[in-house]
Structure formats: C-alpha cells, structure tokens
C-alpha cells in the first residue's frame, strides 16, 4: 500500500505520519481539522477493500468498539469511505500515545506479582463491560493492550469481535489466520467458536506471560502451537517461579483450562476472584489498618518471703477463740467460691458433652462438592461417614454434563452422622436431536418434530429426482443435529421430478440435439444408422419425440444418420496405387490389389466393378496396377 501521508481523508482528517502497519490495515497519526485534535486513522489495504468479508470485519470493529463506553477501551469516533482523493475504507479512533503491553514484557521480562495484577485489573474490567452486553473480543494479546503515557490501560482492535450487536462471526479458518495463535483457546482452534470464556483463556495466557516472561507453548510453526493448545495443558505459573501465591496460581490455571466449563464464565467473574486475591495480599489496599487492640505485656508481681515465727504456746483466751472463729469463716467463703467454680465447670462440661455427643455438635460438617463429579462427592463424603444420594438430574447451560449443580445441605452445612447428602447433577445443556425426516409425509414429520420437544416451522416445496412427490426431502436445521428445546424446524417437501418441454430435433444436427438436451438436464443416448433420406449427422428420430413434457433427467434416445448405405465407384484410373487405395477406403470400401509388370511405381490400369457402379459400403473393389 502506498504511503498516504499528507492526504486529506473525507475532507476532514489530515494524515500526518504512519505509526503502525499490519497485514490488514495501516494506522496513521492524523489531525481532525474540524475539531482541531489529533486522532488515529486506520485505513484498510486497497486489495482487501475489494473483499466484502474484510470490509465487513472492518465495519464490525467500528460497531464493536462504538457499542462500548469504557475508560479502558479505545474509543471509535468515525468510520466511512473516502469520497475524494485516494479511495480508502477508514476507521477513526482516539490516539493513544504510549506503548503496548508487548513492549513492557520485552523490556521487563517478567512482572512482580502485584504489578501484574495492577495491569490485569483494567484489562478484565474492560472485557467485563464487553461481556455484559454480549460482545466477545476474540483476539486478546499483548499487542492489542495499549498503555498511554499517563498510565491508562486501553484495549484496542475489536476487529474479531462478535456478539448480538455485531452479526455473524468469522469462520474457524479465518479466526486462526487473523488471530494470534499463541492466545487462541482450544475451542477457537478446533471449531472456530468463541464466547466470553475464550477471552478468559486468552487473558490467562497473557497473565502467564506477564508473570513468567515467556509464552506457555513454543513451536516452529503456528500449527504446532495451535496443536499444543488443544492437546496439552498449560503449565502452572508455579512451575516457572516459586513466589507466586497459591490462590493466584490456581486462578490462572483455571482460566487456561482447555475445558471452557472449568474456567471463570466471563471476565467479571475472573476480575472478582483476582480482587479477592489482591485483598488477601494487600489488605491496606481495601481498608485502613485498624490495629487498635494491641496486646498488653504481662507483668509478674515479685514474691514476698514471709518470716515464719515459732509458735508459742499460749493459753486460750476469749480473744484467741474469736480469732479462730474469724479464720474459720474466711476459709468457708473460699470453699464456697471454689464450690461455685466447680459447679460452673461441671455445668459447662455437661453442656459441652451434650453438644458434642447428642446435640448439634454431633452433626458432621458437609464439604462443598459443587462442580465435581459423583465420584468426587463420594470420595469426599465417605471418609466422613456420609453418603451421596442423587436426588435429581436436570439440564444446565453452564454446568457440564455429570457435574454437580448443588447439594442439600450445601457446603458448610451440617448433617447427622451417617446421614446422606442429596445432590443435583447436571445433564449438560438441554439439547434434542433432530429426527430423520427424509421420506416422511409432512404430517408424519410434524409429529416426529414435536415429539422431540421441537417446533414445526414452515413448509416449502422443491423438485427432486429421488424423493417422490409429497414426501420430505430435507429439513433446516438438518436431521441429526442437536438443538435447544423449542427450536423451529423447517422442512422441504418434494414436488416430484421436474418436467421439461422437449424440442423435436428431427432432421436437425445430431450434435446440436445432443448439446441442447444435455444442458436441459436430460440423459442423452445416441445411435447411428444408415439412411437414404437424411444427410449424415442429421437426426432420423428421437424418443420421447417432443410432443409431451418429459421428466428432467429422463433418458432421450437419438437416432442419427450415417448417410446413405450406398456409394458410387469413383474414377481412380492412372492414380498411384497408394492414392487409389486411400480414395476407396475413405468411401468405406474394401480394396483388393492385382499387380502387373515390373514398374517400381505402379498406377491403376483397371477397376472392378466399373466406374460409376452403385455398391454398398463395405463391398470389395478389385484394382489392377502396373
């Protein structure tokens, strides 16, 4: 693509310089002359502007970003076709002056844990805003994450985005070509489909690269890398560095799980779990430290050694007797206090024993089994003396088949020792197989469709060479596919074999008849016969003869003239032997040669039958040469 620097696009955007050049478009720094501000103008390569698919993708990028209003998403301001000057399909975006996350990774190698979370937070916040309105980015990678000079993180390039606001998606093949294979989820590689969990996977790979300084898989070709994403597990970050918090390590491992059902369901859930981890790592980030109840140091009193004087024998007086009674009363108070303490401890011990042996304390705490399989639940409950009881199996669009949706009691609840925990297991997404409908009557097809919890839709008719009139040819969606409950199934019913008017070619060129009948859809068979009235190559007869329409694809027999059965003996006197033989054989006559004399070059001296005689083709003519 030639450099358009200096061009005025759409009479408004003055291109200043190229700032990026990719396989699909060139991005220019430009001046919006109407509002006197700098913008970024993305111009599609001219050869791609002729391709409707690429133009559609370009417009989808504008619609995707325009549908989003978020401080961490590059804003799209305009889109159109240059009406004057150089022809161009263009997109106008806010100009972000700074670097990409790829530049930061190259420069830093790997991030500190807290720094990585700081960058991941606005990325996930932007994706969460997109996911809330049904838009999936599909191409998250460090090159599409911009960091402005002011430190604002921005997600760019919603060119592969899809969603209800944007229309259809790209194909699997184009997704692999246009996306970055190192960040594509297994479902994008295998089936070309993507949802919010695909963005979660790509963000998990970006997080892995930020924390380790390298991608999880390396290969010589993109196909090798794509194969590893489908067939191998992304390693845990902890295998590359030891200071990663276990909770963060587990979260990234979940986000990069090859099974979409095992990942956080969207960026919002991913972000919520990441913020919990950050709250544990840095509590001051979420609230002020309120460490007011400081522990008071324990001080021990110094022991006082009492001097024990020897007991002297004294007479018992009234005063001493009174003193003894006072001491006795003091000892009794201490005893009573100790008795109360003993009574209180006995009561506490009794209540504790009741609680642990008979009361609520004797009940077993139920572990959480949601998300696991029946085997997982059994393995968790059996050591506790509990049993897993499947109470119901129901369909669920998010929980995979065979996984536990809920339990009763829930995780953390209590159940009597030896009791059972009722669990509800997912049957996976509710899908119904479209029954075989070909060859059925419309009435029978409707019964079969509604029996499968599906809805009978429209009936259209079409010609068929294999299905009789009045019977089903096919359905849309096709039989054998799995669809949601109440999906509308439309059917196509046969009108029988299409009938076509046949033109009579009697006396006309057989070559013309063969070509035109074949183009009309008939199966043409040709036979050749001698005829004394129709010139060679002309049609003697045909069947059907053209008086009534015939079924398309029907067999038409043409009898084509080989010309007259008879020929006249030509005058070949004095011709050299070789020329005479050729002339007779061209008339489909057999030749017998009699040689006379000793000349090296012999010519015809006699012919039998004589010249001018009418004979059948294939007859033998005797020539004498000498």
Q: Are 263 and 254 in contact (CB under 8 A)?
A: yes
Q: Is the pLDDT of residue 494 over 90?
A: yes
User: Per-residue confidence at 323, pLDDT binned at 50, 70, 90?
Assistant: very low
Residue, of 64 and 140, whose pLDDT is higher: 140
Share of the chain above pLDDT 70, in %: 83
Positive or negative, the Cα torsion across 380, 383, 385, 390? positive
Q: Is the pLDDT of residue 222 over 90?
A: no
| pLDDT of 311 strictly over 70 | no
The top-scoring range by mean pLDDT among 161-170, 173-182, 471-480, 544-553 is 471-480
Mean pLDDT value across residues 537-563: 87
CATH topology of domain 499-561: Trypsin Inhibitor V; Chain A (3.30.10)
Q: Is the confidence at residue 228, as pLDDT, over 60?
A: yes
- Which of the four pLDDT bands, split at 50, 70 and 90, describes residue 379? confident
Phi, psi of 99 (to 5 degrees): -140, 170
Residue range 29-51, pLDDT digits in tens: 999 999 999 999 998 888 777 77
Contact 233, 258 (CB under 8 A): yes
Least confident of 224-233, 327-336, 436-445, 537-546: 327-336
From 3.30.10.20, 2.60.120.260, 3.20.20.10, 3.30.565.10, which CATH number describes the 566-625 domain? 3.30.10.20
Q: State the CB neighbour count (10 A cutoff) for residue 456.
A: 16
Least Cα distance to 245 among 205, 276, 212, 281 occurs for: 281
Total residues found in the chain within this entry = 626
CATH topology of domain 8-94: Phosphorylase Kinase; domain 1 (3.30.200)
Q: Domain residues of the chain, as ranges?
A: 8-94, 99-282, 373-426, 432-494, 499-561, 566-625
Q: Which residues make Cβ contacts (< 8 Å) with residue 432, sequence separation at least 6? A: 452, 453, 454, 482, 483, 484, 485, 487
Report field, pTM of the whole predicted structure over 0.75: no
> By CB neighbour count within 10 A (0-12 exposed, 13-18 middle, 19+ buried), where does 26 fall?
buried
pLDDT in tens, 136-160: 888 899 999 999 888 899 998 775 4
> Residues near 310 by Cβ (< 8 Å), separated by ≥ 6?
none
Residue found under tokens 């892995």: 208
- pLDDT band for position 443 (cuts 50, 70, 90): very high
Whether 223 has a pLDDT exceeding 50, the answer reads yes
Q: Which long-range contacts (CB under 8 A, 24 or more apart) does 179-182 make?
A: 179/138, 179/139, 180/139, 180/141, 180/143, 181/222, 181/225, 181/226, 181/229, 182/141, 182/215, 182/217, 182/225
| Range scoring the smallest mean pLDDT among 206-215, 256-265, 321-330 | 321-330
* Residue of 103, 115, 139, 266 with catalytic role: 139
- Give the residue among 486, 124, 149, 399 at the shortest CA–CA distance from 272: 124
Helix (H), strand (E), coil (C) string for 146-161: EEECCCCEEECCCCCC
Q: How far apart are CA 230 and CA 256, in angstroms?
A: 11
Domain 432-494, what fold? Trypsin Inhibitor V; Chain A (3.30.10)
Tell me the three-class secondary structure of 53-93, residue by residue: HHHHHHHHHHHHHHCCCCCCECCEEEEEECCCCCCCEEEEE
> Tokens 């006249």 identify what position?
568
- Homologous superfamily, domain 99-282: Transferase(Phosphotransferase) domain 1 (1.10.510.10)
Contact 370, 406 (CB under 8 A): yes
Task: Give me 112's structure tokens.
Answer: 């500190």
213: left (phi over 0), alpha (psi -120 to 50) or beta: left
Q: What are phi and psi of 388, to 5 degrees?
A: -95, 125
Closest alpha carbon to 421 in 363, 474, 468 = 363
pLDDT of 343 above 80: no
Contact assessment for residue 490 and residue 455, using Cβ atoms and an 8 Å cutoff: no
Question: Catalytic residue at 469?
Answer: no
User: Which tokens go with 550?
Assistant: 């015939």
Confidence check: pLDDT of 481 > 80: yes
What pLDDT shows up at residue 120? 96
Task: Identify the residue whose tokens are 């109360």.
Answer: 340
What topology does CATH give the domain 373-426? Trypsin Inhibitor V; Chain A (3.30.10)
Q: Which residue has the higher pLDDT, 565 or 334?
A: 565
- Decide if 175 contacts 184 (C-beta within 8 A): yes
d(CA 446, CA 444): 5
Mean pLDDT of the chain: 82
């Amino acid at each position: 693509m030639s450099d358009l620097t200096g061009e005025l696009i759409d009479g408004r955007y003055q291109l200043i310089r190229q700032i990026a050049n990719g396989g699909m478009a060139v991005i220019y720094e430009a001046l919006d002359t109407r509002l006197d501000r700098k913008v970024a103008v993305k111009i599609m390569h001219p050869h791609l502007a002729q391709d409707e698919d690429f133009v559609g993708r370009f417009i989808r990028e504008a619609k995707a970003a325009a549908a989003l209003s978020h401080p961490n998403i590059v804003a799209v301001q305009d889109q159109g076709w240059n009406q004057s000057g150089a022809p161009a399909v263009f997109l106008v975006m806010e100009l972000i002056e700074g670097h990409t996350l790829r530049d930061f990774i190259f420069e830093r190698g790997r991030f500190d844990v807290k720094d990585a979370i700081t960058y991941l937070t606005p990325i996930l916040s932007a994706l969460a805003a997109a996911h809330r309105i049904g838009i999936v980015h599909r191409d998250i990678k460090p090159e599409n994450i911009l960091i402005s000079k002011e430190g604002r993180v921005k997600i760019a390039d919603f060119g592969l985005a899809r969603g209800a606001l944007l229309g259809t998606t790209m194909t699997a093949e184009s997704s692999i070509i246009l996306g970055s294979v190192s960040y594509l989820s297994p479902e994008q590689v295998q089936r070309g489909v993507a949802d919010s969990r695909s963005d979660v996977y790509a963000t998990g790979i970006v997080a892995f690269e930020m924390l380790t300084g390298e991608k999880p898989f390396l290969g010589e070709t993109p196909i090798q890398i794509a194969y590893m994403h489908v067939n191998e597990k992304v390693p845990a970050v902890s295998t590359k560095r030891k200071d990663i918090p276990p909770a963060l390590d587990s979260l990234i491992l979940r986000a990069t799980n090859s099974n979409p059902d095992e990942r956080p369901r969207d960026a919002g859930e991913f972000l919520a779990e990441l913020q919990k981890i950050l709250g544990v790592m840095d509590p001051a980030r979420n609230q002020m430290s309120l460490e007011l109840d400081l522990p008071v140091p324990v001080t021990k009193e110094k022991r006082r050694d009492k001097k024990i004087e020897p007991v002297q024998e004294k007479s018992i007086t009234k005063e001493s007797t009174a003193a003894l009674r006072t001491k006795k009363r003091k000892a009794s108070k201490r005893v009573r206090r100790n008795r109360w303490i003993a009574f209180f401890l006995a009561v506490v011990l009794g209540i504790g024993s009741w609680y642990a042996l008979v009361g609520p304390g004797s009940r077993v705490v139920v572990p959480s089994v949601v998300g696991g399989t029946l085997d997982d639940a059994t393995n968790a409950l059996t050591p506790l003396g509990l049993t897993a009881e499947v109470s119901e199996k129901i369909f669920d669009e998010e929980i995979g088949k065979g996984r536990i949706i809920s339990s009763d009691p829930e995780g953390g609840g209590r159940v009597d020792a030896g009791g059972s925990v009722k669990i509800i297991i997912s049957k996976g997404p509710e899908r119904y197989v479209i029954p075989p409908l070909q060859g059925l009557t419309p009435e029978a097809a409707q019964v079969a469709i509604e029996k499968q919890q599906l809805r009978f839709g429209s009936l259209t008719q079409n010609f068929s060479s294999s299905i009789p009139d009045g019977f089903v040819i096919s359905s849309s969606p096709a039989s054998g596919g799995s669809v949601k409950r109440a999906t509308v199934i439309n059917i196509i019913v046969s009108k029988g074999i299409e009938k076509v008017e046949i033109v009579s070619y009697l006396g006309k060129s057989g070559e013309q008849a063969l070509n035109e009948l074949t183009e009309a859809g008939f199966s043409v068979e040709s036979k050749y016969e001698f005829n004394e009235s129709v010139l060679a190559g002309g049609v003697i007869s045909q069947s059907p003869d053209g008086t009534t329409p015939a079924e398309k694809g029907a067999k038409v027999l043409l009898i084509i003239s080989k010309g007259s059965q008879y020929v006249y003996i030509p005058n070949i006197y004095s011709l050299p032997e070789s020329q005479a033989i050729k002339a007779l054989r061209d008339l489909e006559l057999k030749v017998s040669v009699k040689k006379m004399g000793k000349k090296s070059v012999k010519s015809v001296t006699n012919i039998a039958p004589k010249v001018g005689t009418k004979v059948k083709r294939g007859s033998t003519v005797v020539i004498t040469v000498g």
